[in-house]
Every structure is written in structure tokens, then in C-alpha cells.
């Protein structure tokens, strides 16, 4: 058995070289100032009114879009797992396929759809309905997040749901449980690992995104991802940018703790 | 009833997933270059796509990198999963935690930290560094998809195989591997897809001359995405879809309950073989196409050019290579701010770069530039002396820079929506145009508008003036439809907004697409910008760089570039060659001195003032 652990060797070196050392460099930048002195100021930068507001807004938008993703994906995953398609790869492909179109092109296509004179409003006009303001609102950002990250919610949910033993559900029904009660007592608890990993896979990228808020929010809505991006790019201030990234990593750490607690067996994988 | 509801729900989700994809496909047949205008049906982008060497080589790189990184990541990741699976739970948690980092970390942090690492290790940025970076963020996807399958395998079967005399390797291949294969395959597919879609990490870890489709698309954002990209995406997408349909239309097994393991094996077989095989064919095919197009000439004389995206007629490079025998490596960037860290880190020895005014000053002050030997650039005489004079604001002795493109920042307005005379920045604060104003989404450009409106210098560092400008911008925010950089163009063409702040170089193009648009320079004055060629201090081929600059100053060449990018040229001799009177005498492109009264060029204000500006801009944006 021991020899198997050696197989981890290449990955171990790879992870140290390309994951941990770069991470240490971020840590170094985050905890020093321009002259290389130790400072906590970069971390405290999260406390300024603007940055804190951006963080709260990011949290709000990503929580809302995660919730929507969950609400959309759960019935979808139930339908898909109930279907007789026995090919996981088919389901996986349907949701991975859109990623073969470039992310930026896809998001720009949403602009064409949502704009004032865009496709949706022209359709509404055709039906003699009043046009609606879609682009450059928080709703457009949420839509963009839901669209881009929905696959990350569907896949783990589909995975756990299709693994649930149908006999358990039948047994519950035989014993007189209503459909709702079966769901509450059997299906949902069994799908929890998938829910947790889906929630994290959607929540974290939604929290750090900046492209979606730029393109669909008209840059009028500042998210924490935009702040960090701005620090790295426009201000060329890597120290504050790294400091803010470290603060964001706290959320990532929390999510990792949650995963290990609820998903002990790693059932809620993507595939 | 329930079934109908179910189908409607499925259909709705699929519409959500595929609406943008369909939009892109339709755009690939659009004769107009702008995404917000339908110019008729055409197939020309499909034919020009295959003639475009740059796109084809980017496609080749993309596929090769995606393929190699996915294969290597699958190998390393699968081995690692087996190892991790046999560990005690504490170590397993640690490893899985580390594995989650690249997935959960924001791309820009991963990208910059990897770049710093590569520089520290003295790796030359290029194909191999992109590959390493991609393997790094691909491994976790493989591990995350293999681990669950490994956990499902029954340990006793492996031990049984061992008891029956199989060696560890044989037992693994015969017993464990078939069970985890679906996980390995989907891990590979996921890794391939992620690598295909990545931009930010690639951007920071790539070297000159190596482009992937993503970096190519992003460098085009400034001048508008070329429709060839839509065509290429459509083709890529359709070919994958066809493969998928082929795989899934394989004959179905007759009865599920009766089917044995063997039957299952048969059913999975096509998928196993077809997907990798199809990928190999794709890669090989792209490689073949690429090599058909590329010329095999390799010479010792080299030149590495680093320029804005879509900021040079590709034919010009061909002519230069032909005339001088120098091999040009051409690389593009999206903004000054993305270019600067790469020059500063000296990761790559670029020979000639084309930054904007204030950035040149910043590079000069940080000793990143070499003085140009004017004896090698006799064609400098073609450049209008007024622009040489203007360059003094960032290059006081005219030692470092040769002007390439010039222009102003002004207001583009739609005559059908704005009936009054537009001649002042004030109109951008007019309540009438609520929600139809587009502002520039960059600190300095936005503040320049607010400062100039009040009659202050756009290089102001006076705190009171800046606070006043900040308040003005905050007051303006409810009226602003969006803060944008490049999309002003498309949005104005598509009649999305009445007024937009835009660079004069875009005026010609937008007017061609939508004749109702008009460009004005406000009377309070504006920003006059100059993009100039400079030679970094660590350039390896300085003389070739000077040859290149001299070549670009030749009137016929400057004219070619002007016609390609439509930004005004400071080259007087080239301007005289323009045939169209209305363009040659256009005051939008070539403003007279009186139009530019009160106008200034941006200066680099120092790191401290820079971060103060950023802080104030943050205040505006977060209101």
C-alpha cells in the first residue's frame, strides 16, 4: 500500500513549485509595502468605505446568483437523473459545450441580447410590449453569473442525485411518505454533498469575477474583483492587490472547511 | 401534464445556455464588422479566416497547448489521486486543500504570481511557460473528477486480483483502471476545455510571438473583435457538437437488465476512442493548415515588436521582412497598464514597443528606455514638427520616442438624439440625456473630462481641484448609462446612447457604420494623446528596431497603416498622399491649432498621485 503514495510524488513537487510558492509570493506582497517592510495596511485596505462596499455588494450578488443557480439546477438535475439517458458524458457535454466558445465572446453576446436596442427588446417591441432596461443593472450581472456558472452547479447535483438508490425512495413511498416528505427526508439529505460542492463552485468564482460586472454591469457597479483587478492593472499596486486577495482567500478557506465537513467522501464531485 | 412541464423547463434552460451561442453564430454571418448592426448575410469571414496566418497559428497553439496540458495533467493528476486516496485522512485533507487553491484563486493573482516565479527562475517566457501554467490549473480538475470514482471502487477486488497472482501494475490496469476510466476521461475533457478558455493566466505567462485564441481575442477588443473570430468559434463549436452527436447516436443496448458488463464495455467504447481521436485529428489538421500557410524562412536577424492589438497592417510586416531579411516576432497588448509590468520585469527583451505618452514618461523615469540613434532614422523628417514639439511634454529632449499615432478625446454624439449644438463637456452633465451618456472607464480619461470642464489642467495634482472633479463625477453618475472603454464604438453604432466620450481615431470608423454620428472636440480643450515607438533599454536588436522605426516612418508605409487602423498619423508626407480630400482635410483627424486651444497631453504624475487618482476613482465607481 505504501508504494502507492509514491505516485503522489510528481504532483507533490508540482504543487509545491507552482501552487504553494506562488501563493507564498502573494503572501509576501500582501504583507509588505513598496519598500519591503512588513505591514498590515494592505489587509486593512478592505476596511475603506469603497472597498468594503464593493465586498458587500460582491457577497450579495454572488449569494443571490448562487441561490438562483441552486433553484434552477436542482429540478434540472432531478429531471436529468430521472431520464433514461445512461450516459453521464452526454449530460456533461451539454453543459461543457458552451465553454468551447470563448468566455469573452459569450459574455459579449449577452450584451447584444440585453441592450436597449438588443434582441430581447426588439422581440418585446415586435409583440407590442414595453421595452425593459436590462443591461447595466445588477440583474444583468446576476444573469451573467448564473449563465456562466450554472454548469458548475448542475454537474455535481446530477452526480449525487443519479447515485441515490431508487429502492430507498420506493421504500419511503411504500411506507406512506408523501412525495414532498420523501424529498425532505430522503432525497435532499442524500444530495447534500452535491449541494455543498455546487454552491462553492458557483459562489467562489462569482465572488471574484470582474469581467462579467464590466461587460454586463456597464462598470457602474464596482465588485471586489474589479477592485483587485484595478490594483494590479491600472494602479500597478501589487501590494494592496495581494492584500485584498488574501482577504478574499479567507472566504475560500471557509468554503474549504465547509466542504470537508459536509462532503467527507468526495461524492459531490463535478463528474 | 407533468411531462410537458418537465420538457418546457428543460427547453428553457437550454435556451438560456445556448442563446448567446446562437447569437455568436449569427454574428459570424454578419457583413458589418460591428456587433450591434446587421449588415446583411455574408460568408466572407469564413473564407478570410483560413487565409489569416495569425489566427490559424493561434488556433494551432491553442489546440496543442490544450491537448498537451490536458494529457500531462491527466497523467499527473490520476497518479496523484491514486496516491492521495491511499493516504490517511489528515494528509488527504491537506492535499485536497492545496488542490482547491488554483480553482478558487482569482485568475489574475495566479497569473501574476506564476509570472513572477518564472522570472525569478530565469525561465524564458514562451510556449513552455504557458504549458506549465496550464498544467498547473488543469491538474485540480483531473483530481476532482478522478477522486470520486476511486472512492467508489471496491478495494477488495484489487486485493483479490493480487491474491490471484497479478502484479500491482497488472492488478491496477485490469481491475481499478477500468472503473475510474470515466472519471479520467471527463477530467481530461474538463482540463482541455479550461485550457481552451483561459485568458488571464496565459497572458501573463506567455512570451512574444506565441498567441492563443484567447489572447488574440482580448488584444482585438480595443479595435473591435474581428468577425473571423466569430466564424472560427462557430466552426470549433459545431465540430465538437458533431462529434458529440456521433458518439451518442451509437446503437443502444437492447435491454438494460440483461446487459452484462461486457455490453457496457461495448457501449462506452466509441466514446473512449472517438473523443481523443477527434481531438488528435483536430490538432493535426490545424497544424497541417498552419504549416501550409507559414513561410519557412529563418534568419539570424531578429526583431521583437510589442504593439497594441490591431495597431499595424499585417502586410507591413511582410514587406519589412522581405526588404530587410529580418524576422519579425509580433506581439500585442491590450492596455498600457498590462504592457508595463511585462517591460518592467524585463521578462522578455522586446526590441520596440508602442506605449502612450504618459507611459513613455513613466518608462523613461524608471530607466526602461534606450536613446534612439537618429542617424539610423532619417525618415523622422517626415513627421510633422508640431508633434515632435508636443512629444516634449513626456520626452523633453526628443531622445526616446517617434510618434506613430495621434489623436484627441472628444464627444461622439448621435444627431437624431441630440438636437442642440454640442461644443462643451457640460452636455455630459445635462439631465436631458439621463441614461444615454457613455463615459470612459479609465481613471485619467474620466478625470480629464471633469477637470477640463472646470477649466483645470488634466494633469492637476491640486487636491481641491481633484475633489471638485470627484464630486462632479459622482453627480454625473446617475446620468451615465455605462462606463466603457472599447464598447463606446459598438454602442454608439447601435444607437444605444446619445453621447459618448471616445478617441478621435474611432470617429472615422463609427461614422462609416452609422452616418448619424458626429465627433466634436469641446471648446474647453481636451487630451491630445500620442502613441510613439520606443526602444526598451534591454533590447537585444537595437539597430533592427531603429530600422523598423525608420521603415514605419516611410510615407507609403505610414499611409498603409493609417488606412488599416484609421487613427490619425503624425506623418505629414503620408497625410499628403491620402487621396480622399475629406479625410486628408478632416479636422476631426487632423485638428488645427485653434481646435486644440487649451488641450494638453497626459503626464505621468508619480506613483503617489497615481494612487490618489485611483482612490478617488474608486469613490466615484462605488457610489
Same domain for B11 and B97? no
Lowest mean pLDDT among A73-87, A105-119, B45-59, B228-242: A73-87
Q: Residue A235: what pLDDT?
A: 62
For the beta carbon of residue B612, count every other beta carbon within 10 angstroms. Answer: 15
- The mean pLDDT of B337-353, rounded to a whole number, is 83
Total domains in chain B come to 4
Q: Residue B369: what pLDDT?
A: 95
Contact B373, B400 (CB under 8 A): no
B225/A233 touch (CB, cutoff 8 Å), yes or no: no
Distance CA B232, CA A114 (A): 24
B327 touches chain A (CB under 8 A): no
Same domain for B556 and B479? no
- The yes-or-no verdict on residue B448 having pLDDT over 90 is yes
**CA distances from residue A206 to A71, A152, A253, B196 in whole angstroms, order as listed:** 16, 11, 16, 20
Q: Residue B125: what pLDDT?
A: 80
Burial of A173 (0-12, 13-18, 19+ CB in 10 A): middle
In a domain, B38, yes or no: no
Best mutation target among A60, A163, A218, A249 (most B Cβ atoms within 10 Å) is A218
- The mean pLDDT of B532-541, rounded to a whole number, is 94
A270/B190 touch (CB, cutoff 8 Å), yes or no: yes
Q: Residue A220: what pLDDT?
A: 83
**Cα-based torsion angle of the residue sequence B575, B576, B580, B581 in order, rounded to the nearest 10 degrees:** 110
- The mean pLDDT of B332-346, rounded to a whole number, is 80
B319 - beta bridge partners?
none
Total domains in chain A come to 1
Q: Residue B417: what pLDDT?
A: 93
- The yes-or-no verdict on residue B260 having pLDDT over 50 is no
- The mean pLDDT of B478-492, rounded to a whole number, is 86
Same domain for B74 and B156? yes
Q: Residue B262: what pLDDT?
A: 40
Q: Residue B596: what pLDDT?
A: 87
Same domain for B265 and B138? yes
In a domain, A240, yes or no: yes
- The mean pLDDT of B458-477, rounded to a whole number, is 94
| CATH number of the domain to which A81 belongs | 1.10.3720.10
- The mean pLDDT of B373-397, rounded to a whole number, is 92
Same domain for B429 and B359? no
Distance CA B190, CA B134 (A): 12
Distance CA B47, CA B227 (A): 11
- Min CA distance, B183 vs chain A (Å)? 7
**Closest partner residue to A101 among B151, B233, B477, by Cβ?**
B233
Q: Residue A263: what pLDDT?
A: 61
Same domain for B84 and B98? yes
Mean pLDDT of chain B: 84
Same domain for B75 and B219? yes
C-alpha cell at B163: 491474491
The CA-CA-CA angle for residues B191, B192, B193, to 5°, reads 90
Rounded to 5, what percent of chain A is helix, strand, coil? 75, 0, 25
**CA distances from residue A157 to A72, A153, B228, B320 in whole angstroms, order as listed:** 11, 6, 37, 57
- The DSSP line for B402-465 is EEEEEEEEEEEEETTT--S---SGGGGG-GGGTT-EEEE-SHHHHHHHHHHHTT--TT---HHH
Among A35, A185, A266, CA closest to B151: A266
Q: Please write the tens of the pLDDT for every residue from B575-603.
A: 999 988 888 888 888 988 888 888 999 99
Percentage of chain B lying above the pLDDT 70 cut: 91
In a domain, B42, yes or no: no
Q: Residue B287: what pLDDT?
A: 59
Contact B66, B74 (CB under 8 A): no
Same domain for B230 and B121? yes
Which phi and psi angles does B439 have, rounded to 5°? -105, 160
Same domain for B523 and B538? no
List chain A residues with CB under 8 Å of B149.
271
Q: Residue B370: what pLDDT?
A: 94
More confident: B215 or B278: B215
Instruction: Categorize the per-residue pLDDT at B259 as very low, low, confident or very high, splitting at 50, 70 and 90.
Output: very low
B151 touches chain A (CB under 8 A): yes
| CATH number of the domain to which B550 belongs | 3.40.190.10
Q: Residue B517: what pLDDT?
A: 93
In a domain, A11, yes or no: no
Q: Residue A2: what pLDDT?
A: 59
Q: What is the ipTM of this complex?
A: 0.84
- The yes-or-no verdict on residue B198 having pLDDT over 80 is yes
- The mean pLDDT of B490-507, rounded to a whole number, is 89
Q: Which domain holds residue A129?
A: 47-262
In a domain, A33, yes or no: no
Distance CA B82, CA B77 (A): 9
Same domain for B419 and B389? no
SS (H, E, C) B187-252: HHHHHHHHHHHCCHHHHHHCCCCCCCHHHHHHHHHHHCCCHHHHHHHHHHHHHHHHHHHHHHCCCC
Same domain for B20 and B60? no
Distance CA B215, CA A171 (A): 55
List chain A residues with CB under 8 Å of B217.
102, 104-105
**Closest partner residue to B240 among A54, A97, A268, by Cβ?**
A97
Q: Residue B261: what pLDDT?
A: 41
B145/A222 touch (CB, cutoff 8 Å), yes or no: no
- The yes-or-no verdict on residue B391 having pLDDT over 60 is yes
Q: pTM for the full model?
A: 0.82
Q: Residue B282: what pLDDT?
A: 65
In a domain, A133, yes or no: yes
- The yes-or-no verdict on residue B352 having pLDDT over 90 is yes
Instruction: Categorize the per-residue pLDDT at B460 as very low, low, confident or very high, splitting at 50, 70 and 90.
Output: very high
- The mean pLDDT of B402-430, rounded to a whole number, is 94
Same domain for B73 and B153? yes
Strand runs labelled E in A36-191? none
Instruction: Categorize the per-residue pLDDT at B284 as very low, low, confident or very high, splitting at 50, 70 and 90.
Output: low
In sequence order, what are the residues at sequence separation of 6 or more whose Cβ sits closer than 8 angstroms to the Cβ of residue B390? B403, B406, B528, B530, B601
In a domain, A35, yes or no: no
Q: Which domain holds residue B26?
A: 1-30
- Min CA distance, B300 vs chain A (Å)? 34
Regions of chain A short of the pLDDT cut 70 = 1-3, 84-90, 92, 234-236, 259-260, 263-271
For the beta carbon of residue B385, count every other beta carbon within 10 angstroms. Answer: 10
C-alpha cell at B537: 533599454
Amino acid at each position: 500500500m505504501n508504494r502507492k503514495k509514491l505516485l503522489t510524488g510528481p504532483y507533490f513537487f508540482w504543487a509545491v513549485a507552482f501552487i504553494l510558492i506562488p501563493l507564498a509570493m502573494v503572501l509576501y506582497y500582501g504583507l509588505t509595502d513598496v519598500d519591503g517592510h512588513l505591514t498590515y495596511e494592505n489587509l486593512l485596505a478592505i476596511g475603506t468605505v469603497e472597498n468594503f462596499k464593493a465586498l458587500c455588494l460582491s457577497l450579495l450578488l454572488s449569494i443571490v446568483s448562487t441561490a438562483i443557480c441552486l433553484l434552477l439546477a436542482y429540478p434540472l438535475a432531478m429531471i436529468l437523473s430521472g431520464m433514461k439517458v445512461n450516459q453521464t458524458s452526454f449530460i456533461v457535454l451539454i453543459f461543457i459545450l458552451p465553454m468551447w466558445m470563448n468566455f469573452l465572446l459569450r459574455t459579449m453576446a449577452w450584451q447584444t441580447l440585453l441592450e436597449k436596442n438588443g434582441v430581447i427588446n426588439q422581440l418585446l417591441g415586435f409583440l407590442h410590449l414595453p421595452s425593459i432596461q436590462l443591461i447595466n443593472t445588477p440583474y444583468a450581472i446576476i444573469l451573467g453569473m448564473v449563465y456562466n456558472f450554472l454548469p458548475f452547479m448542475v454537474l455535481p447535483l446530477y452526480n449525487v442525485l443519479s447515485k441515490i438508490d431508487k429502492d430507498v425512495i420506493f421504500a419511503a413511498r411504500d411506507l406512506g411518505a408523501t412525495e414532498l416528505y420523501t424529498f425532505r427526508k430522503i432525497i435532499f439529505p442524500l444530495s447534500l454533498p452535491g449541494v455543498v460542492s455546487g454552491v462553492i463552485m458557483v459562489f467562489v468564482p462569482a465572488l471574484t469575477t470582474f469581467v462579467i460586472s464590466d461587460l454586463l454591469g456597464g462598470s457602474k457597479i464596482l465588485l471586489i474583483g474589479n477592485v483587485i483587478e484595478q490594483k494590479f492593472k491600472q494602479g500597478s499596486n501589487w501590494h494592496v492587490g495581494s492584500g485584498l486577495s488574501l482577504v478574499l482567500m479567507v472566504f475560500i478557506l471557509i468554503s474549504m472547511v465547509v466542504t470537508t465537513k459536509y462532503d467527507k467522501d468526495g461524492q459531490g464531485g463535478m463528474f | 401534464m407533468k411531462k410537458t412541464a418537465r420538457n418546457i423547463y428543460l427547453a428553457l434552460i437550454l435556451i438560456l445556455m445556448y442563446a448567446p451561442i446562437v447569437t455568436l453564430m449569427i454574428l459570424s454571418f454578419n457583413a458589418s464588422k460591428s456587433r450591434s448592426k446587421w449588415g446583411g448575410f455574408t460568408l466572407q469571414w469564413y473564407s478570410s479566416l483560413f487565409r489569416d496566418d495569425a489566427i490559424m497559428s493561434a488556433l494551432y497553439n491553442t489546440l496543442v497547448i490544450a491537448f498537451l496540458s490536458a494529457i500531462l495533467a491527466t497523467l499527473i493528476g490520476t497518479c496523484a489521486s491514486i496516491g492521495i486516496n491511499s493516504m490517511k485522512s489528515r494528509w488527504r485533507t491537506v492535499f485536497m486543500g492545496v488542490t482547491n487553491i488554483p480553482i478558487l484563486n482569482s485568475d489574475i493573482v495566479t497569473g501574476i504570481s506564476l509570472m513572477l516565479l518564472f522570472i525569478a527562475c530565469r525561465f524564458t517566457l514562451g510556449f513552455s511557460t504557458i504549458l506549465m501554467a496550464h498544467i498547473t490549473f488543469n491538474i485540480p480538475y483531473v483530481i476532482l473528477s478522478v477522486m470520486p470514482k476511486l472512492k467508489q471502487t471496491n478495494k477488495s477486488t484489487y486485493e483479490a486480483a493480487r491474491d490471484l497472482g497479478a502484479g500491482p501494475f497488472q492488478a491496477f490496469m485490469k481491475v481499478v483502471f477500468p472503473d475510474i476510466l470515466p472519471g479520467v476521461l471527463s477530467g481530461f475533457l474538463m482540463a482541455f476545455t479550461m485550457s481552451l478558455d483561459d485568458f488571464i493566466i496565459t497572458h501573463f505567462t506567455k512570451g512574444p510571438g506565441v498567441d492563443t485564441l484567447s489572447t488574440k481575442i482580448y488584444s482585438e477588443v480595443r479595435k473591435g473583435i474581428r468577425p473571423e473570430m466569430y466564424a472560427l468559434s462557430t466552426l470549433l463549436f459545431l465540430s465538437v457538437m458533431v462529434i458529440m452527436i456521433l458518439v451518442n447516436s451509437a446503437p443502444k443496448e437492447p435491454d438494460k437488465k440483461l446487459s452484462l458488463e461486457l455490453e457496457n464495455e461495448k457501449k462506452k467504447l466509441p466514446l473512449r476512442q472517438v473523443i481523443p481521436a477527434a481531438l488528435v485529428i483536430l490538432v493535426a489538421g490545424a497544424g497541417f493548415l498552419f504549416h501550409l500557410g507559414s513561410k519557412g524562412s529563418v534568419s539570424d536577424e531578429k526583431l521583437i515588436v510589442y504593439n497594441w492589438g490591431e495597431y499595424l497592417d499585417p502586410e507591413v510586416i511582410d514587406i519589412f521582412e522581405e526588404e530587410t531579411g529580418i524576422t519579425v516576432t509580433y506581439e500585442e497588448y491590450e492596455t498600457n497598464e498590462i504592457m508595463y509590468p511585462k517591460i518592467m520585469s524585463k521578462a522578455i527583451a522586446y526590441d520596440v514597443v508602442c506605449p502612450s505618452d504618459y507611459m513613455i514618461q513613466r518608462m523613461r523615469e524608471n530607466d526602461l528606455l534606450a536613446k534612439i540613434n537618429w542617424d539610423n532614422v532619417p525618415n523622422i523628417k517626415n513627421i510633422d514638427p508640431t508633434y515632435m514639439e508636443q512629444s516634449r511634454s513626456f520626452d523633453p529632449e526628443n531622445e526616446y520616442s517617434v510618434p506613430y499615432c495621434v489623436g484627441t478625446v472628444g464627444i461622439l454624439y448621435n444627431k437624431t438624439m441630440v438636437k442642440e449644438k454640442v461644443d462643451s463637456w457640460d452636455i455630459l452633465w445635462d439631465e436631458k440625456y439621463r441614461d444615454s451618456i457613455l463615459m470612459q472607464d479609465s481613471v485619467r480619461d474620466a478625470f480629464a473630462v471633469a477637470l477640463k470642464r472646470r477649466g483645470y489642467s488634466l494633469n492637476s495634482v491640486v487636491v481641491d481641484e481633484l475633489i471638485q472633479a470627484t464630486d462632479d463625477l459622482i453627480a454625473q453618475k446617475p446620468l451615465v448609462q455605462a462606463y466603457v472603454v472599447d464598447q463606446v464604438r459598438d454602442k454608439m453604432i447601435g444607437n444605444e446612447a446619445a453621447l459618448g466620450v471616445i478617441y478621435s481615431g474611432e470617429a472615422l470608423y463609427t461614422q462609416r457604420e452609422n452616418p448619424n454620428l458626429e465627433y466634436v472636440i469641446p471648446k474647453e480643450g481636451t487630451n491630445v494623446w500620442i502613441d510613439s515607438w520606443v526602444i526598451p533599454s534591454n533590447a537585444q536588436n537595437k539597430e533592427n528596431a531603429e530600422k523598423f522605426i525608420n521603415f514605419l516612418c516611410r510615407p507609403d508605409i505610414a499611409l498603409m497603416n493609417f488606412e488599416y487602423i484609421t487613427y490619425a498619423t503624425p506623418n505629414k508626407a503620408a497625410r499628403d498622399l491620402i487621396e480622399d480630400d475629406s479625410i486628408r482635410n478632416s479636422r476631426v483627424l487632423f485638428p488645427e491649432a485653434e481646435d486644440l486651444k487649451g488641450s494638453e497631453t497626459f503626464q505621468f504624475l508619480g506613483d503617489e498621485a497615481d494612487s490618489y487618482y485611483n482612490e478617488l476613482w474608486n469613490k466615484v465607481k462605488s457610489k
